[in-house]
Chain A
C-alpha cells in the first residue's frame, strides 16, 4: 500500500473542498472496495476523503423510502419500517458480501463505485430509484453509465437514494462460486402502477434492464410469464467461471426466482 493523506470532513462542502484540493483524491464511504484495492496497489490515490465523518446515515419511510448515503447494508437489511415497505430491498441488502462488509459498506459507496457485480445498482434500476446528490437528483436510469462509471460530475457526492414503494419486488443472485460477488443477479420489481422493471447485475459490463422481460411481467407478474424469455449472450461477460451463454441462461433462471421471491 502506498502512503496517502487522510481526511475525515464533517460536511459535504468540506469533503468537496478536500477532494478538489488534492492531486488525485478519492472519496471513501465504507471502503469495502477501495481498501482492498489500496492493499493490492490497484488504487494509489494521493488523498482519501473518508465520508464517515458526515454521519449521513438513516432511513425514512413515507410516501417513498429515502436511505441516506452513509447507511450501512446491515441497517437496510434490518430496518423494520423498510422491511415492511420494500422487503425485497431489505433482503438484497442482507445478502451483500459478508457480515463484515454489511457493517462497513454503505449504499452511497456501493452505487457511486458501480462495480458491475455489485447488488445495489440492480435494485436502484429495478425500482426506478432517484439518486440525490449535493447538487441535483438523478434518475437511476441515467445514473449508471457503465463499468465503474456513473453520471456523477467532479465534486458531486451522493447524499441519499430515494426508492418508490413498489407493489412487490425480489432479488435473486447466483454468486460467483469463488468470490461470491454476483455472477448473475436479477432484481424484479412490480411498481405501484403495475408496470414491471427487471435489472440485471454481474452479467455484463454494468447493470442493465431487460425490456422483453419487463413487458412480459407488466402483463403478468409471475415466473410463468418469463417462460421462453431470453437475453442474448452477445454482450455478456465470459470468464473462467461462466461463459456468456451460461450467464444468459442464468439471467432467465434468476429472473424467475426473483419474481417467485418477490414480496
Chain B
C-alpha cells in the first residue's frame, strides 16, 4: 500500500538510531553478575604434537578461576566441532573429516589453534596467566599453500593421508571431452582466488552462563544463526538438550559469513561455566585473534578450459580446482567449493557441456568457510575471467561474445544442477553499457595515455544462486539441515505488530525491511511494527541469515503468516459486522463489507479479536497470532552486469578504480536505499579482494604474515570511486514477493570486473589477485624492457 513505509519505500533504517548513537547492545556490552573472563592459549606453531601442558603456574596466578585443556573437555564428554554437509568423492567415499576438539588434543594444526583456556577475574589477569601456561610442543612439518598440500610430507589428519578431504566432481566428463574434440578454439587459464580474512567490524565474542538452579545454559554469542548454534551445541557437542540451552545473538556487528559457524571459543565459554560453579564466562576476541582464528574465505587454485565453436559459441567448459579448507572442516566448509561453487559454472551462458572436479585439501591454516558470496564469487571469477579471455583470443568484443552466449529462454536447465527460473541478461548488459558509456571508452583510454596512464575496462556478467535453499534438494546433496525459514506474527490488541523471525540481522536492516512488508500488507505505519530475532527463547526456530536468504525465504515466511492473519482477521471482521466472510475486502488497512459503507480499521479488528465479545469463540478462537514455515521451491537467481574501469600508473604500479557501474536484477525490491547499501558494500569488498586484500602465511614458519592492519590492507573510502548503480527487474517466480537476493551480488561480481579491467589495461592474460602496486609493477617490468 502507498502509505510511505511499504514495499518499495526508501525509508531510513529504524535500527540506525541506536547504532549511530552508541546504544547498540552487542555481546561485549552485556555484563552478567559474577562474570569472569576467558583468554585462550593458542598454538604458535603451524603443526606440532603437544607433548605436555603444564597449567600449574598459571593456576596459581592472581585472579585465576580455572585453567582447562582438552583433557577436561574429554572428561565431560563434550564433542568436537562438526562439518554439517557431507560430500562424497567421485569414487563414492565420504569426505575425510579429522577430529576438531574444542581444545586441542594431541596435536595443533595451525597458528592460532585453541590449546587451553584460562578463566580469571579480569581479562588482563586471564591474559597474564595464559602466558604462564607451559605447552611443550614437538614441531612437525607443515604446509600452508593449497597448491603444495596434496601429498605433502606434512600429514595433517590421520584420516586423510594425502591431505585430501575429497575429490568431488559434477557434470558429464565424457560429453565435455567430446565437445572439446569438436572445438574450433580452446581457451585456457590458470587462476588463483586469493585467501581473504573476513574482518567484521565487531570481533567475535561470547558469554557462557550455567545456572546451577535450573541446570540450564545461556550463551550470548556473535552468531548469524543462533538456533543452528543451539542445535549443534546440543546435538553434537552434547552440552545440554535444546530446552536447557538458550542461545542469544543480540546486536551483531557484521558477519559476512564468518559468524555462521559454530566456533570452539563459544562452546568452551558455555561448557566451562559449569566447571567454575556457574559463574558466567565472557570472551571477546582481540583483533589479532580475529585474523588468526575466524574462518577465512576463498583460497582456490584453478585451471579452466573453455571450448568454442567456429561461430564463437561456447560448447564446453572444464574446470579443476584445488580448494583449501584449512586445518579443520568448519561448519559449512565442504559445501562452499562444491555445491555453492561448481553449480554456478554455467554463468549467464547456455553452455551445453560442463565438467568440474574439485580437490578439497587440508592445509596448516585457519579453517576456510563461507565468506560473502561463498563459492559464487569463486565461480564468477573463473567464468568471467575465462569468458573475457576467450573473447580477446577470438578478437570479439567481450560484450558481444557474452551476448552471443547468454541464456535467453527460461526456465533454463544448466548441466550443473541449477535451473534458472527467470532473467533478462541482455537488459542488464544494455543498461550497464549505457551507464558506463562503454562506447566512449576508447576516447577515455586515449586521454589517459596522454597522462602516462594505462586505462582498462572489464565486464563481469555474474549470476548467483541464493535464497538458500530448498530443503529436500540440498538434503539430497548432503546438507545436514533444511534451509526453510519460520516466522510468527503477533498482533497486539491495539493493532501494533510484533514479528518473530528466524532470520538474523547483523547489518542487513531487517528491522526496517521486514516492518515495511508488514506495513504494506496490513496498512499500518512501519513504526507500529517491531521485529524480534536472535533469541532461541523467543523465536521458536529459525535457520538464520546468510546466502542472501532473508528476503526470499525469511520474508516469504512472514508473508505466509500475514496471509493467515488476514484470513482470520476477515473472519472476525465478518462476524463483528454481521456479514459473510466472502464479502469482506481488506485494503489499505481497512476491512469493508462489499457494497456497503460498513468498515472496520485493522486496529479495531485486532481489539475485537482479543476482547472476543462479538463473535462465537467456539467457532473463531480469540486472539490474532499466526506462524508459518516457508521452504523455498527453488534457489533464486540474481544476475547482472558490472563494468569496472581502472587506470594504472606505470611509474608506481598503482591501480585506481576510476569508474564502476553495477546493474543488478534482484527482482522486486523492498527498500532501494538498503539494497543500494548492500550493493555498495559488496562491491567494496570485491574491489578489496581484487586490489588490496590477501591473506599470506609464511611458507617457512607457517605464521600468518598478514596478521594485523599493518599488513592486511582493507579497502578505504578514498580507494572507491562513485559507484553508478542501475537495476533491471524480472520478478522471481518462486516466491510470492518476487524477490531475489542482494546481499552478496556486489562481492560476487566485482573481482572479475576489476581484474578484467586490470588485465585489459596491462594487455596481459592474468595478474594474480590482489593486484597490488608491487604485483602490477612486476608485471610491467618485462614489457618495459621489451619497449626499451
Q: Give me the interface of A with B, judged by CB distance under 8 Å.
A: 1, 174, 177-179, 240-243, 246, 249-250, 253
Chain B hits for A178, CB < 8 A: 706, 709-713
- Can you pick out 8 interface pairs between chain A and chain B where the beta carbons lie within 8 Å of each other? A1-B124, A178-B710, A178-B711, A178-B713, A241-B772, A250-B652, A253-B651, A253-B652
Which of the four size classes fits the interface of chain B?
10 to 19
Closest to B778 in A: A246
Q: Are A240 and B773 in contact (CB under 8 A)?
A: no
Known interface pairs A177-B773, A246-B777, A249-B777; A241-B651 also in contact (CB < 8 Å): no
State the main secondary structure of chain B at its contact with A. Answer: loop
The CA of A243 and the CA of B781, in the complex, are separated in Å by 13
Could you tell me if B774 and A243 are in contact, using CB atoms closer than 8 angstroms? yes
Beta-carbon contact of A177 and B772 below 8 Å: yes
Contacting residues, chain B, for A249 (C-beta < 8 A): 777
A145 to chain B, nearest CB (A): 25
Name, among A178, A179, A242, A253, the residue most crowded by chain B CB atoms within 10 Å (CB to CB). Answer: A178
B691 to chain A: closest residue by CB: A177
8 A Cβ contacts from B758-788 to A = 772-774, 777-778
Does B705 touch A at the CB level, under 8 Å? yes
Is B517 at the interface (CB under 8 A from chain A)?
no
User: In whole angstroms, how far apart are the Cα atoms of A1 and B653 in the complex?
Assistant: 39
Residue of B692, B706, B711 with most partner-chain A CB within 10 A: B711
Q: In the complex where A246-B774, A249-B777, A250-B652 touch, is A240 in contact with B696 (Cβ < 8 A)?
A: yes
The reply to whether B710 and A179 form a contact with Cβ atoms under 8 Å apart is yes
Of all chain B residues, which has the CB nearest A36? B710
CB pair A240–B651 under 8 Å, yes or no, is no
Minimum C-beta distance from B61 to chain A (A): 14
Which residues of chain B are near A177, meaning CB under 8 Å? 692, 713, 772-773
Q: Is the beta-carbon distance between A240 and B705 smaller than 8 angstroms?
A: yes
Considering only residues 586-610 of chain B, those with a C-beta below 8 Å from chain A are none
CB nearest to A177 among chain B residues: B713
Complex CA gap A232/B413 in Å reads 60
Chain A binding surface SS class = loop
- With A240-B696, A241-B711 as known contacts, state yes or no: A174 contacts B652, CB within 8 Å: yes
Q: Given known contacts A178-B711, A242-B774, what 12 new A-B pairs fall within 8 Å (CB)?
A: A177-B692, A178-B706, A179-B710, A179-B711, A240-B696, A240-B705, A240-B706, A240-B711, A241-B772, A249-B777, A250-B652, A253-B652
- Chain B contacts with A in 687-746, Cβ cutoff 8 A: 692, 696, 705-706, 709-713
Q: Tell me, in angstroms, the Cα distance from A174 to B653 when the chains sit together.
A: 11
Minimum CB–CB distance from B62 to chain A (whole Å) comes to 13
Q: Which residues of B sit under 8 angstroms from A242, Cβ to Cβ? A: 774
Contacts of A250 in B (CB 8 A): 652
For B124, the chain A residues whose CB sits under 8 A away are 1
Name which residue of chain A comes closest to B770, CB basis.
A177
Residue of B nearest to A174 (CB): B652
Chain A residue at minimal CB-CB distance from B692 = A177
Question: Taking each of A1, A174, A179, A240, which has the highest tally of chain B beta carbons within 10 Å of its own beta carbon?
Answer: A240
Chain A residue nearest to B131 in the complex (CB): A41
Contacts of B709 in A (CB 8 A): 178-179
- Chain A contacts of B773 at CB under 8 A? 174, 177
Chain B residues positioned under 8 Å from A179 (CB to CB)? 709-711
Tell me, in angstroms, the Cα distance from A253 to B651 when the chains sit together: 7
Cα-based distance from A242 to B709 in the complex (angstroms): 16
Q: Give B499 Cβ to nearest chain A Cβ, in Å.
A: 42
Nearest to A3 among chain B residues (CB) is: B124
For B772, the chain A residues whose CB sits under 8 A away are 177, 241
- Per the bound structure, the CA–CA distance linking A44 and B39 in Å amounts to 21
Closest CB in chain A relative to B426 CB, distance in Å: 38
Distance in angstroms from B175 CB to nearest chain A CB is 45
Inter-chain contacts of A246 with B (CB < 8 A): 653, 774, 777-778
* Distance between A172 CB and nearest chain B CB, rounded to angstroms: 10
Residue of B nearest to A242 (CB): B774
* A178–B199 alpha-carbon span in the complex (Å): 14
The smallest C-beta distance from B394 to any residue of chain A, in angstroms, reads 35
- Which residues of chain A are near B696, meaning CB under 8 Å? 240
Chain A residues contacting B705 (CB-CB under 8 Å) are 240
Q: How far is the CA of A133 from the CA of B651 in the complex (A)?
A: 41
A254, closest chain B residue (CB): B652
Q: Are A241 and B710 in contact (CB under 8 A)?
A: no
Give the shortest distance, in Å, between A115 (CB) and chain B (any CB).
13
Q: Which residues in A have their C-beta under 8 angstroms from that of B774?
A: 241-243, 246
Cα-based distance from A243 to B772 in the complex (angstroms) = 12
Contacts of B710 in A (CB 8 A): 178-179
Give A68 to B95 CA distance when docked, in angstroms.
68
| Docked CA distance A186–B508 (Å) | 45
Q: Which 7 A-B pairs have the closest CB atoms?
A: A178-B713, A179-B710, A253-B651, A177-B713, A178-B711, A242-B774, A246-B774
Complex CA distance for A127 and B777, rounded to whole angstroms? 31
Minimal beta-carbon separation of A153 from chain B (angstroms): 31
Q: What is the 8 Å Cβ interface bit string for chain B, positions 640-665, against chain A (1 contact, 0 not)? A: 00000000000111000000000000
- Binary CB contact string for chain B from 31 to 45 against chain A (1 if under 8 A, 0 otherwise): 000000000000000
